[in-house]
Amino acid sequence: MMKARKNTTDRAATERKILNTAMPAFEEITGFCIKILEVKPAGKIQPDAVLQINAPDVEPKKFYAQIKGFITKATIGHVAEQIRRFEKPGILVTRLVTPPMAERLKELNLAFIDTAGNAYINDPQFFVYIIGQKKKEIPATETIVRAFRPTGLKVIFAFLCLPELVKAPYRDIARAANVALGTVGWVMNDLRKLNFLVDRGKHGRKLINVEKLLDTWIQTYARELRPKLYIGQFGATREQWWEKTDWQKTGTFLGGELAAARLTDYLKPETITIYGPEEINKFLLRNHLKKDPHGKIEIFQKFWNFDYPWNYKTLAPPLLIYADLIATADDRNIETARIIYDQHIDRLIEKH
């Protein structure tokens, strides 16, 4: 337990350092004043801090802050969705927002400040948009524990999809997660240290703080695991080829937009995301798909080794479909992801 508290304390200290650097940078450039009204405990699904921005000649404005060490193109959508879940005026506080990221956050109408003084706030009482400020000299390293490295993420994914698996023998866990047996032990140790896993004696192991674990998995999956699974981008020579494909016979699974369209009937897919075996040539030949850097078909290696318990046997598990949509940072995809979260992910959390 002492180690779990230390990890939480370290994370809180890092977040506070980012906040304490971003606030004066914003104040120096804008002349506005930021006051911290409240700081929330690290490790829970809630705002990390409550801030009040005082601008000249207007009423003080309260914002609910999410503090992130780093953001990338793949994680912007996830951050936006986290802040929208607060259902209150939200703001991202982070180390550095590059001009392209700033433009994307502006398109999403997501307020932010960073440690260099870049900012975007579109409020009825005042408007701020500052880009191009250079990074301040603060520590820019972010330690990621092994459990949130690619191999560990496979194990966590299996646990999140199959709640009872966490109680199983290590050999069964390794088989389901498609990892080496030795991997399971250190993932379990890391999850205990981070206060995501408890041992209950004869009642077996149990995941705790599942919502926070799930959010952490989604963010680190986009950054750590998804790029390593990438096989390639492809184009098709036949229109609507996927509608004529018997997916159950292909050994592949649909993710992303096409899977979401079949789940919700809410989205018109533009990109087809497929998870399949590393040796994908037979599938490509059968469906007349060719390498194309501008193609609308993206193929990733399937990384799980279990049957997800639902009726959509040709689709990847809903957590993965959700993560695919969020990684695009596209408005329409994020809306659809929210539907999938409400219909499938919430229910998954309740099972733990």
Confidence class of residue 41 from pLDDT cuts 50, 70 and 90? low
pLDDT > 70 fraction of the chain, expressed in percent and rounded: 93
**From 55-59, 125-129, 252-256, 273-277, the region with the lowest mean pLDDT:** 55-59
- Mean of pLDDT values over 40-59: 79
Confidence class of residue 9 from pLDDT cuts 50, 70 and 90? low
Q: Among 285, 290, 282, which Cα is nearest to 232's?
A: 290
Q: Which pLDDT score is estimated for 45?
A: 61
**pLDDT tens by residue, 224-273:** 999 999 999 999 888 878 887 888 888 899 999 999 999 998 888 999 99
Looking at per-residue confidence, does 134 or 255 come out higher? 255
Q: Which pLDDT score is estimated for 81?
A: 87
302 pLDDT above the threshold of 50: yes
Q: Which pLDDT score is estimated for 275?
A: 96
- Mean of pLDDT values over 122-130: 92
Token pair listed for 69: 């060490």
- DSSP state letters, 193-242: HTTSEEE-GGG-EEE-SHHHHHHHHHHHIIIIIHHHHEEEEEEESSTTGG
Q: Which pLDDT score is estimated for 225?
A: 94
> Maximum distance among all alpha carbons in the chain?
67
Give the burial string for 337-350 (b: 16+ CB within 10 Å, else e).
Answer: bbbbbeebbeebee
Pairing of strands 111-114, 90-94: parallel
Token pair listed for 172: 């069964």
Q: What is the pTM of this model?
A: 0.78
Looking at per-residue confidence, does 352 or 204 come out higher? 204
Confidence class of residue 122 from pLDDT cuts 50, 70 and 90? very high
Q: Which pLDDT score is estimated for 3?
A: 44
CA distance 38 to 26: 19
- Mean of pLDDT values over 191-218: 90
Q: Which pLDDT score is estimated for 348?
A: 76
Token pair listed for 328: 């695009």
Q: Which pLDDT score is estimated for 346?
A: 85
- Mean of pLDDT values over 99-107: 92
Q: Which pLDDT score is estimated for 256?
A: 95
Q: Which pLDDT score is estimated for 262?
A: 93
Evaluate whether 114 touches 22 at the Cβ level (below 8 Å). Answer: yes
pLDDT > 90 fraction of the chain, expressed in percent and rounded: 55
Q: Among 269, 266, 232, 239, which Cα is nearest to 254's?
A: 269
Q: Which pLDDT score is estimated for 292?
A: 92
**pLDDT tens by residue, 146-189:** 899 999 999 999 999 999 999 999 999 999 999 999 899 889 99
All structural domains of the chain: 2-130 (no CATH), 148-211 (1.10.10.10), 223-350 (no CATH)
